[in-house]
Amino acid sequence: MTHSTVSLYPLLEQALLCRDVEEKLSLAERLFQDWRAGSLARLAAADPYALPEAGRPERPELVHPARVPRRGLSTRQGHGALLHAIAHIEFNAVNLALDAAWRFRDMPDGFVDDWLRVAAEEAGHFRLLQDRLRELGFAYGDFPAHDGLWAMTRKTDHDVMIRMALVPRVLEARGLDVTPGIQRRLAAIGDTASVAVLDIILRDEIGHVQIGNRWFCELCRQRGLEPQATFRRLLDEYAMQLHPGDYNLPAREAAGFFADELAALARLGEQPADA
């Protein structure tokens, strides 16, 4: 793809391990720009290792998901806490996308291109949410958060097919489902600016889930596996069963889910939440 002698992998590792928020965002965006400009090469590099932790700032404090406070939108604190939770997801998503490009080195250039683009777009999402937090008088780090998204990165670092199945097709797809409800809550308190930000994020996230779907299906094809049966098996293996609730079926269809899956989710969505 390029005649450059500048190696992609040390720069990816630098971005992954960077603890400064603004610097990490800039590094992620610059990586994609430089890759698309043809100034980075996939030169031979040491094999990826188990990252002890992707770089993140000292704050927010990471706590068990059950200890993340849930506040209503009737207060400024509750409003800020909701936007902060979404911003934290986007920050972790930058690291997730960088890790995919850095870790799975047997994948073709198209895979690298996809995940560098995702990393840059997630950085843009974080910036939009960070701006909204500032307008409310808050900053990233002001509320506790949990580590669930990055924890799944560690659980799937040994197999790119499992990563594509469980991160884009489960965790990120769940974001497609919950966003419209969050938008309705924000609209109800008159926060049209945040609703517009979430419109941008939802549009891009459909594309991100579609990327994961495409690579999952391609990897299944290469391994002689049936995608839907393989996905159900992985849900069982990793105890990630889907539960009754609202599913954004149009967004999931646009992201490349199978008709059989959409029909099953529609039936699941009709069940009571405590079923």
Q: Is 37 exposed, middle or buried (0-12, 13-18, 19+ CB in 10 A)?
A: exposed
Tell me, rounded to whole angstroms, the distance of Cα 218 from its chain centroid. Answer: 20
Helix (H, G, I), strand (E, B) or coil at 7: strand
Q: Is 38 exposed, middle or buried (0-12, 13-18, 19+ CB in 10 A)?
A: exposed
Mean pLDDT by 10 residues, the chain (275 residues): 74 95 98 96 76 84 79 90 95 96 95 98 98 97 86 91 96 95 96 98 98 98 98 94 88 97 88 56
Tell me, rounded to whole angstroms, the distance of Cα 47 from its chain centroid. Answer: 24
Using alpha carbons, select from 190, 6, 212, 14 the residue that is nearest to residue 98: 14
What local confidence, expressed as pLDDT, does residue 52 receive?
Answer: 66
Domain parsing of the chain, residue ranges: 8-42+54-147, 156-275
What local confidence, expressed as pLDDT, does residue 148 receive?
Answer: 75
Non-local CB neighbours of 44 within 8 Å, separated by 6+ positions = none
pTM tops 0.85, yes or no: yes
What local confidence, expressed as pLDDT, does residue 153 receive?
Answer: 87
d(CA 67, CA 99): 27
What local confidence, expressed as pLDDT, does residue 273 receive?
Answer: 56
Look up tokens 């290469």; give the residue. Answer: 222
